[in-house]
A and B are shown apart, each in its own frame.
Chain A
Amino acid sequence: MKRYGLLVLAFLALPALAQEWKVDYGKSQIAFVIKQMNVPVEGGFGRYNVKAVFDPAKPELGFFRVELDIASINTGSEEGDGEAKRPAWFDTARFPKATFVSKAIKKDAAGRFTVTGDFTLKGRTRPLLAPVILTPQRGGGWLVSGRTALKRSQFDIGGGEWADPSVVADDLEARFKILLTP
Protein backbone atom coordinates (compact mmCIF):
# COMPACT_ATOMS: atom_id res chain seq x y z
CA MET A 1 0.00 0.00 0.00
CA LYS A 2 2.76 2.35 0.95
CA ARG A 3 4.51 1.61 -2.33
CA TYR A 4 1.35 2.49 -4.28
CA GLY A 5 1.04 5.69 -2.32
CA LEU A 6 4.53 6.70 -3.31
CA LEU A 7 3.78 5.88 -6.93
CA VAL A 8 0.65 8.06 -6.88
CA LEU A 9 2.64 10.82 -5.25
CA ALA A 10 5.34 10.53 -7.91
CA PHE A 11 2.70 10.67 -10.65
CA LEU A 12 1.06 13.74 -9.17
CA ALA A 13 4.44 15.42 -8.92
CA LEU A 14 5.22 14.78 -12.61
CA PRO A 15 3.85 18.00 -14.08
CA ALA A 16 5.68 19.93 -11.40
CA LEU A 17 8.91 18.26 -12.47
CA ALA A 18 8.42 19.54 -15.99
CA GLN A 19 10.47 22.59 -16.77
CA GLU A 20 9.14 26.09 -16.39
CA TRP A 21 10.42 28.15 -19.28
CA LYS A 22 11.54 31.74 -19.31
CA VAL A 23 9.89 34.10 -21.76
CA ASP A 24 11.85 36.44 -23.99
CA TYR A 25 9.22 39.20 -24.08
CA GLY A 26 11.30 41.30 -26.45
CA LYS A 27 10.94 38.65 -29.12
CA SER A 28 7.40 37.62 -28.27
CA GLN A 29 4.17 39.11 -29.53
CA ILE A 30 0.50 38.90 -28.70
CA ALA A 31 -1.44 40.64 -31.43
CA PHE A 32 -4.85 40.70 -33.01
CA VAL A 33 -6.35 41.66 -36.33
CA ILE A 34 -9.84 43.06 -36.54
CA LYS A 35 -11.63 44.52 -39.53
CA GLN A 36 -12.78 48.13 -39.29
CA MET A 37 -14.97 49.13 -42.24
CA ASN A 38 -13.64 45.96 -43.84
CA VAL A 39 -10.03 47.11 -43.37
CA PRO A 40 -7.92 44.63 -41.41
CA VAL A 41 -6.25 46.61 -38.61
CA GLU A 42 -3.51 45.13 -36.47
CA GLY A 43 -3.26 45.71 -32.76
CA GLY A 44 -1.68 44.01 -29.79
CA PHE A 45 -0.78 44.03 -26.14
CA GLY A 46 2.46 45.57 -24.89
CA ARG A 47 2.47 43.92 -21.46
CA TYR A 48 1.55 40.37 -20.62
CA ASN A 49 2.78 37.53 -18.54
CA VAL A 50 3.23 33.97 -19.74
CA LYS A 51 3.78 30.94 -17.59
CA ALA A 52 4.83 27.95 -19.63
CA VAL A 53 5.53 24.63 -18.01
CA PHE A 54 6.25 21.65 -20.16
CA ASP A 55 8.63 18.83 -20.87
CA PRO A 56 9.89 19.01 -24.46
CA ALA A 57 9.66 15.22 -24.59
CA LYS A 58 5.97 15.36 -23.67
CA PRO A 59 4.63 18.85 -24.39
CA GLU A 60 1.06 17.55 -24.32
CA LEU A 61 1.40 17.22 -20.56
CA GLY A 62 2.37 20.87 -20.23
CA PHE A 63 0.54 23.89 -18.96
CA PHE A 64 0.20 27.43 -20.27
CA ARG A 65 -1.13 30.49 -18.54
CA VAL A 66 -1.23 33.87 -20.20
CA GLU A 67 -2.22 37.06 -18.44
CA LEU A 68 -2.81 40.18 -20.53
CA ASP A 69 -2.53 43.69 -19.14
CA ILE A 70 -5.47 45.21 -21.00
CA ALA A 71 -4.35 48.80 -20.41
CA SER A 72 -1.28 48.06 -22.53
CA ILE A 73 -3.48 47.60 -25.59
CA ASN A 74 -2.39 49.02 -28.91
CA THR A 75 -5.28 49.35 -31.33
CA GLY A 76 -3.30 50.90 -34.14
CA SER A 77 -4.24 54.49 -33.28
CA GLU A 78 -3.99 56.69 -30.17
CA GLU A 79 -7.67 57.53 -30.42
CA GLY A 80 -8.49 53.84 -30.51
CA ASP A 81 -6.25 53.09 -27.51
CA GLY A 82 -8.17 55.59 -25.40
CA GLU A 83 -11.54 54.36 -26.59
CA ALA A 84 -10.67 50.69 -25.98
CA LYS A 85 -10.26 51.28 -22.23
CA ARG A 86 -13.76 52.70 -21.83
CA PRO A 87 -16.66 50.68 -20.38
CA ALA A 88 -18.20 49.95 -23.81
CA TRP A 89 -15.01 48.14 -24.79
CA PHE A 90 -12.65 46.51 -22.30
CA ASP A 91 -13.61 48.55 -19.23
CA THR A 92 -10.05 48.41 -17.91
CA ALA A 93 -11.02 50.14 -14.65
CA ARG A 94 -13.13 47.12 -13.67
CA PHE A 95 -11.35 44.43 -15.69
CA PRO A 96 -7.65 45.24 -15.94
CA LYS A 97 -6.56 41.70 -16.81
CA ALA A 98 -7.54 38.95 -19.20
CA THR A 99 -6.30 35.41 -18.66
CA PHE A 100 -5.97 32.26 -20.63
CA VAL A 101 -5.45 29.04 -18.70
CA SER A 102 -4.81 25.85 -20.63
CA LYS A 103 -6.74 22.73 -19.71
CA ALA A 104 -5.50 20.26 -22.29
CA ILE A 105 -2.83 20.03 -24.95
CA LYS A 106 -3.43 17.51 -27.70
CA LYS A 107 -0.69 16.47 -30.07
CA ASP A 108 -1.82 16.69 -33.71
CA ALA A 109 1.47 16.05 -35.49
CA ALA A 110 5.16 16.51 -34.89
CA GLY A 111 5.51 19.98 -33.38
CA ARG A 112 1.80 20.70 -33.78
CA PHE A 113 -0.65 20.79 -30.93
CA THR A 114 -4.15 21.92 -30.13
CA VAL A 115 -4.32 23.82 -26.90
CA THR A 116 -7.71 24.15 -25.26
CA GLY A 117 -8.44 26.20 -22.21
CA ASP A 118 -10.48 28.96 -20.64
CA PHE A 119 -10.18 32.54 -21.72
CA THR A 120 -11.47 35.12 -19.27
CA LEU A 121 -12.01 38.60 -20.63
CA LYS A 122 -14.10 41.39 -19.13
CA GLY A 123 -15.31 39.00 -16.47
CA ARG A 124 -16.61 36.46 -18.96
CA THR A 125 -15.02 33.04 -19.29
CA ARG A 126 -15.33 31.17 -22.59
CA PRO A 127 -13.60 28.06 -23.86
CA LEU A 128 -10.84 28.81 -26.33
CA LEU A 129 -9.06 26.49 -28.70
CA ALA A 130 -5.85 27.33 -30.49
CA PRO A 131 -3.72 25.31 -32.87
CA VAL A 132 -0.14 25.86 -31.76
CA ILE A 133 3.18 25.19 -33.43
CA LEU A 134 6.20 24.47 -31.26
CA THR A 135 9.43 25.25 -33.09
CA PRO A 136 12.70 24.27 -31.41
CA GLN A 137 15.18 27.14 -31.19
CA ARG A 138 18.94 27.16 -31.19
CA GLY A 139 20.10 27.11 -27.59
CA GLY A 140 17.30 24.83 -26.46
CA GLY A 141 14.36 27.24 -26.47
CA TRP A 142 10.98 26.99 -28.16
CA LEU A 143 8.91 29.32 -30.26
CA VAL A 144 5.24 28.84 -29.48
CA SER A 145 3.18 30.34 -32.27
CA GLY A 146 -0.36 30.21 -33.50
CA ARG A 147 -3.52 32.08 -34.29
CA THR A 148 -7.10 31.60 -33.30
CA ALA A 149 -10.47 33.15 -34.07
CA LEU A 150 -12.56 34.97 -31.50
CA LYS A 151 -15.78 36.95 -31.46
CA ARG A 152 -15.79 40.19 -29.50
CA SER A 153 -19.52 39.89 -28.80
CA GLN A 154 -18.84 36.75 -26.72
CA PHE A 155 -17.03 38.96 -24.23
CA ASP A 156 -19.25 42.02 -24.56
CA ILE A 157 -16.36 43.99 -26.07
CA GLY A 158 -17.62 47.04 -27.94
CA GLY A 159 -21.29 47.22 -27.05
CA GLY A 160 -23.86 49.96 -27.46
CA GLU A 161 -23.22 52.18 -30.48
CA TRP A 162 -20.21 50.01 -31.35
CA ALA A 163 -22.20 46.78 -31.62
CA ASP A 164 -22.69 47.15 -35.40
CA PRO A 165 -20.34 44.55 -36.92
CA SER A 166 -20.31 46.34 -40.29
CA VAL A 167 -18.20 49.09 -38.69
CA VAL A 168 -16.02 47.03 -36.35
CA ALA A 169 -16.27 43.34 -37.17
CA ASP A 170 -17.43 40.85 -34.56
CA ASP A 171 -14.80 38.37 -35.69
CA LEU A 172 -11.19 38.91 -34.92
CA GLU A 173 -8.06 36.86 -35.10
CA ALA A 174 -5.63 36.58 -32.21
CA ARG A 175 -2.03 35.93 -33.20
CA PHE A 176 0.72 34.99 -30.83
CA LYS A 177 4.34 34.02 -30.83
CA ILE A 178 6.03 33.42 -27.53
CA LEU A 179 9.74 32.75 -27.36
CA LEU A 180 10.59 30.40 -24.53
CA THR A 181 14.15 30.06 -23.32
CA PRO A 182 15.54 27.56 -20.83
Chain B
Amino acid sequence: MRKRYSLPLISLHWLTVILIITAYVLATMLEDMTLSPQKLKLYAWHKWVGISVLFLLPLRLLLRFVDRFDHRYELSPFEIKASASVHGMLYLLLIAVPLLGWLHSSAAGFSVVWFGLVSLPDLVGKDKALAEIFKELHAGSVNLLLALVVLHAAAALYHHYFQRDGVLVRMIPWLRKKS
Protein backbone atom coordinates (compact mmCIF):
# COMPACT_ATOMS: atom_id res chain seq x y z
CA MET B 1 0.00 0.00 0.00
CA ARG B 2 1.14 3.53 -0.88
CA LYS B 3 2.24 5.55 2.13
CA ARG B 4 1.84 9.06 0.74
CA TYR B 5 -0.55 11.28 -1.09
CA SER B 6 0.17 11.77 -4.79
CA LEU B 7 2.91 14.28 -5.54
CA PRO B 8 0.55 16.83 -7.22
CA LEU B 9 -1.67 16.76 -4.14
CA ILE B 10 1.33 17.21 -1.81
CA SER B 11 2.61 20.08 -3.97
CA LEU B 12 -0.74 21.86 -3.94
CA HIS B 13 -1.03 21.43 -0.17
CA TRP B 14 2.31 23.11 0.51
CA LEU B 15 1.77 25.70 -2.19
CA THR B 16 -1.46 26.66 -0.43
CA VAL B 17 0.46 26.94 2.86
CA ILE B 18 3.00 29.27 1.24
CA LEU B 19 0.25 31.35 -0.41
CA ILE B 20 -1.71 31.73 2.83
CA ILE B 21 1.38 32.82 4.78
CA THR B 22 2.32 35.25 1.99
CA ALA B 23 -1.16 36.77 1.86
CA TYR B 24 -1.26 37.07 5.65
CA VAL B 25 2.17 38.71 5.90
CA LEU B 26 1.25 41.14 3.10
CA ALA B 27 -2.02 42.03 4.86
CA THR B 28 -0.15 42.68 8.12
CA MET B 29 2.32 44.95 6.31
CA LEU B 30 -0.51 46.82 4.58
CA GLU B 31 -2.23 47.65 7.87
CA ASP B 32 0.54 50.03 8.97
CA MET B 33 1.32 51.57 5.59
CA THR B 34 0.24 54.98 4.40
CA LEU B 35 -0.69 55.31 0.75
CA SER B 36 2.31 54.87 -1.54
CA PRO B 37 3.08 53.10 -4.82
CA GLN B 38 4.58 50.30 -2.70
CA LYS B 39 1.30 49.93 -0.82
CA LEU B 40 -0.69 49.68 -4.06
CA LYS B 41 1.71 47.00 -5.28
CA LEU B 42 1.52 44.99 -2.07
CA TYR B 43 -2.26 45.36 -2.00
CA ALA B 44 -2.45 43.98 -5.52
CA TRP B 45 -0.16 41.07 -4.62
CA HIS B 46 -2.24 40.31 -1.53
CA LYS B 47 -5.32 40.01 -3.75
CA TRP B 48 -3.55 37.98 -6.44
CA VAL B 49 -2.16 35.52 -3.90
CA GLY B 50 -5.49 35.18 -2.08
CA ILE B 51 -7.42 34.62 -5.29
CA SER B 52 -4.85 31.97 -6.24
CA VAL B 53 -5.74 30.06 -3.06
CA LEU B 54 -9.39 30.18 -4.09
CA PHE B 55 -8.69 29.06 -7.64
CA LEU B 56 -6.39 26.21 -6.58
CA LEU B 57 -8.94 24.72 -4.22
CA PRO B 58 -11.22 23.00 -6.78
CA LEU B 59 -8.13 21.39 -8.32
CA ARG B 60 -7.02 20.16 -4.89
CA LEU B 61 -10.44 18.74 -4.14
CA LEU B 62 -10.54 17.01 -7.49
CA LEU B 63 -7.09 15.48 -6.97
CA ARG B 64 -8.01 14.35 -3.49
CA PHE B 65 -11.15 12.74 -4.88
CA VAL B 66 -9.19 10.98 -7.61
CA ASP B 67 -6.30 9.97 -5.33
CA ARG B 68 -6.85 6.44 -4.08
CA PHE B 69 -4.97 7.01 -0.86
CA ASP B 70 -7.28 6.12 2.01
CA HIS B 71 -7.34 9.07 4.34
CA ARG B 72 -8.65 6.91 7.22
CA TYR B 73 -5.58 4.66 7.22
CA GLU B 74 -3.93 4.43 10.69
CA LEU B 75 -6.62 6.65 12.27
CA SER B 76 -8.91 5.82 15.18
CA PRO B 77 -12.67 6.32 14.72
CA PHE B 78 -12.45 9.56 16.74
CA GLU B 79 -9.50 10.80 14.67
CA ILE B 80 -11.37 10.01 11.46
CA LYS B 81 -14.31 12.14 12.59
CA ALA B 82 -12.17 14.94 14.01
CA SER B 83 -9.90 15.18 10.99
CA ALA B 84 -12.82 15.03 8.58
CA SER B 85 -14.54 17.94 10.29
CA VAL B 86 -11.36 20.02 10.54
CA HIS B 87 -10.53 19.32 6.89
CA GLY B 88 -14.10 20.23 5.93
CA MET B 89 -13.89 23.53 7.79
CA LEU B 90 -10.44 24.23 6.33
CA TYR B 91 -11.73 23.74 2.80
CA LEU B 92 -14.74 25.92 3.57
CA LEU B 93 -12.54 28.71 4.89
CA LEU B 94 -10.11 28.40 1.98
CA ILE B 95 -13.11 29.37 -0.11
CA ALA B 96 -14.70 31.84 2.33
CA VAL B 97 -11.63 33.94 3.19
CA PRO B 98 -10.60 34.84 -0.37
CA LEU B 99 -14.23 35.12 -1.44
CA LEU B 100 -14.91 37.66 1.34
CA GLY B 101 -11.79 39.54 0.26
CA TRP B 102 -13.05 39.56 -3.32
CA LEU B 103 -16.48 40.77 -2.08
CA HIS B 104 -14.76 43.51 -0.06
CA SER B 105 -12.78 44.56 -3.12
CA SER B 106 -15.90 44.69 -5.29
CA ALA B 107 -17.91 46.64 -2.71
CA ALA B 108 -15.01 49.07 -2.20
CA GLY B 109 -15.01 49.85 -5.93
CA PHE B 110 -11.63 48.27 -6.64
CA SER B 111 -12.06 45.29 -8.92
CA VAL B 112 -9.62 42.41 -8.86
CA VAL B 113 -7.45 41.97 -11.94
CA TRP B 114 -5.65 38.70 -11.19
CA PHE B 115 -1.91 39.23 -11.66
CA GLY B 116 -2.82 42.37 -13.58
CA LEU B 117 -4.05 40.16 -16.43
CA VAL B 118 -7.41 38.54 -15.71
CA SER B 119 -10.27 40.89 -14.84
CA LEU B 120 -12.51 39.19 -12.32
CA PRO B 121 -16.14 40.25 -12.30
CA ASP B 122 -17.37 42.42 -9.43
CA LEU B 123 -19.48 40.25 -7.14
CA VAL B 124 -21.43 43.23 -5.76
CA GLY B 125 -21.80 46.86 -6.73
CA LYS B 126 -19.89 49.66 -5.03
CA ASP B 127 -21.28 50.15 -1.52
CA LYS B 128 -19.19 51.65 1.28
CA ALA B 129 -21.23 50.17 4.17
CA LEU B 130 -21.18 46.74 2.58
CA ALA B 131 -17.43 47.05 1.97
CA GLU B 132 -16.87 47.60 5.70
CA ILE B 133 -18.94 44.53 6.56
CA PHE B 134 -17.01 42.32 4.12
CA LYS B 135 -13.73 43.72 5.41
CA GLU B 136 -14.64 42.70 8.98
CA LEU B 137 -15.83 39.27 7.85
CA HIS B 138 -12.67 38.80 5.77
CA ALA B 139 -10.48 39.62 8.79
CA GLY B 140 -12.60 37.54 11.16
CA SER B 141 -12.67 34.49 8.92
CA VAL B 142 -8.92 34.58 8.41
CA ASN B 143 -8.43 34.35 12.19
CA LEU B 144 -10.65 31.28 12.23
CA LEU B 145 -8.68 29.83 9.31
CA LEU B 146 -5.38 30.40 11.10
CA ALA B 147 -6.71 28.81 14.30
CA LEU B 148 -7.73 25.74 12.31
CA VAL B 149 -4.37 25.64 10.52
CA VAL B 150 -2.64 25.61 13.92
CA LEU B 151 -4.92 22.81 15.12
CA HIS B 152 -4.34 20.88 11.88
CA ALA B 153 -0.54 21.27 12.13
CA ALA B 154 -0.52 20.43 15.84
CA ALA B 155 -2.47 17.23 15.16
CA ALA B 156 -0.05 16.24 12.39
CA LEU B 157 2.96 16.86 14.65
CA TYR B 158 1.28 14.95 17.48
CA HIS B 159 0.83 11.98 15.16
CA HIS B 160 4.46 12.13 14.07
CA TYR B 161 6.24 12.70 17.39
CA PHE B 162 3.89 11.07 19.89
CA GLN B 163 1.92 8.43 18.04
CA ARG B 164 4.85 7.83 15.72
CA ASP B 165 2.56 6.86 12.85
CA GLY B 166 2.69 7.76 9.16
CA VAL B 167 0.15 10.59 9.15
CA LEU B 168 2.62 13.47 8.67
CA VAL B 169 4.75 11.33 6.37
CA ARG B 170 1.86 11.23 3.89
CA MET B 171 2.29 14.92 3.20
CA ILE B 172 6.11 15.17 3.23
CA PRO B 173 7.91 13.24 0.47
CA TRP B 174 11.30 12.92 2.25
CA LEU B 175 10.02 12.28 5.76
CA ARG B 176 10.19 8.83 7.38
CA LYS B 177 8.11 7.43 10.16
CA LYS B 178 9.65 7.79 13.63
CA SER B 179 10.62 4.41 14.98
Contact = CB atoms under 8 A, between A and B. Distances in A.
Contact of A167 (B37, B110, B113, B117): B37
B43 A37 contact: yes
Given A37-B113, A37-B116, A77 B40 contact: no
Contact of A164 (B37, B111, B113, B116): B37
B108 interface: yes
A37 B35 CA distance: 14
A41 B41 contact: no
Interface in B71-123: 108-113, 116-117
A40 interface: yes
Given A38-B117, A167-B40, 12 more contacts: A37-B40, A37-B41, A37-B43, A38-B113, A39-B110, A41-B109, A77-B108, A77-B110, A79-B34, A80-B35, A161-B37, A168-B40
A41 B112 CA distance: 11
Contacts of B34: 79
Interface residues of B, number: 16
B27 to A, nearest CB: 16
A76 B35 contact: no
A170 interface: no
A76 B35 CA distance: 13
Contacts of A76: 109-110
Interface in B27-75: 34-37, 40-41, 43-44
Contacts of A37: 40-41, 43-44, 113, 116
Interface in A74-96: 76-77, 79-80, 82-83
A42 B109 contact: yes
A11 interface: no
A167 B44 CA distance: 10
A95 to B, nearest CB: 20
Contacts of A39: 44, 110-113
A42 B116 CA distance: 17
A162 B41 CA distance: 12
Interface of B: 34-37, 40-41, 43-44, 108-113, 116-117
Nearest to B43: A37
A36 interface: yes
Contacts of B36: 161
Contacts of B111: 39-40
A81 B6 CA distance: 51
17 contacts: A36-B110, A37-B116, A38-B113, A38-B116, A38-B117, A39-B110, A39-B112, A39-B113, A40-B111, A41-B109, A76-B110, A77-B109, A79-B34, A79-B35, A167-B37, A167-B41, A168-B37
A39 B41 CA distance: 11
Nearest to A42: B109
Contacts of A41: 109-110
Nearest to A40: B111
A36 B40 contact: yes
A167 B37 CA distance: 6
Interface in A19-60: 36-42
A38 to B, nearest CB: 4
Contacts of B109: 41-42, 76-77
